[in-house]
Amino acid sequence: MITQRISVVLIFIALLSLNGQSQSDMDDRSLRFGLMGSPNFGWLRPEIKELEKDGLQPRLGFGYGVMMDYKFTDSPNYLFSTGANITTNGGGLIEPWETVITETDTAFRFLGKNDRTYRLQYVNVPLLLKMRTGDVGYMSYFGAIGFDASFRTRARVNNTYTWLGNSALQPDDEEDMDLNSNINFMRLALNITLGAEYNLTGNTNIYAGLGIHNGFTNMFNNKGGSNILKPASDGTPELDSSGNVIVSQRKDAKTMYISLDIGVFF
């Protein structure tokens, strides 16, 4: 239903752009550049039943960078929009967990759950078709649809444990742990953005947009540690007849976020 409504809005914007008497700042230019900042609200969507969410577990993030519009036809109403920005986002997931600690040549095994908060940073390159209206006074309106191609630069995680039983040796919670080796280098997402521009003077426009960034590639890679333990009914690891944890399938979750994009075109 949401996708259908967005499609209707984009079609409406396209029809307006055909009929509008454009006085756009791109009438005489094929390229324009700008700067932008982008606070966002992100979360993770598990794709396998072994991963659990405790509510939405959202995370606030931020992005900043440059943007570019290219007029690829004679009309200023149809643009190829791209750029590059550094974006942080993330969210939370819960999974079964096992840790073994060795003290004075004795191994102690701990079973429980790990409530993990992921903090991810990417260099993001949007590849969008932008359709915008002619000027309505000092305003113009647009809809853009396309893809995000993102490249991981940093992945950190906070681990919050809930252990079975009680022992002084139980591992403490951990903060700001490096997780680069378990997170995919590339992320692809659907990007749908709606917004408006206000002409300040000449070629200078203030830009504002609301974007939905729907990831469709797995955030986890195939390297060691990317398989999840099979959970028992209480969410802690299930054991086989020999008392060993049962390793299940590869972890699979998608990154999602909504951004408020604010910037200036020059």
Tell me which residues of the chain have a pLDDT lower than 70. Answer: 1-27, 55-56
pLDDT score at 57 = 72
CB 229 within 8 A of CB 209: no
pLDDT of residue 29: 84
| Closest residue by Cα to residue 229 from 250, 254, 207 | 250
End-to-end CA distance of the chain, in Å?
37
CB 132 within 8 A of CB 84: no
- Predicted confidence at residue 19, as pLDDT, reads 44
Q: Which two tokens stand for residue 7?
A: 């499609």
pLDDT value of residue 16: 44
- Phi first, then psi: give them for residue 162, nearest 5 degrees: -125, 105
What's the pLDDT score for residue 224?
A: 73
User: What pLDDT is recorded for position 223?
Assistant: 83
DSSP for residue 225:
T
Instruction: Tell me how crowded residue 142 is: count the other CB atoms within 10 A of its CB.
Output: 23
Q: How many CB atoms lie within 10 A of CB 91?
A: 26
If you ran DSSP here, which 8-state letter would residue 11 be given? Answer: H
CATH 2.40.160.20 correct for 2-219+251-265: yes
For 33, list phi and psi in degrees, rounded to 5.
-125, 155
> Which residues have a Cβ under 8 Å from the Cβ of 22 and sit 6 or more positions away?
75, 76, 77, 133, 134, 135, 140
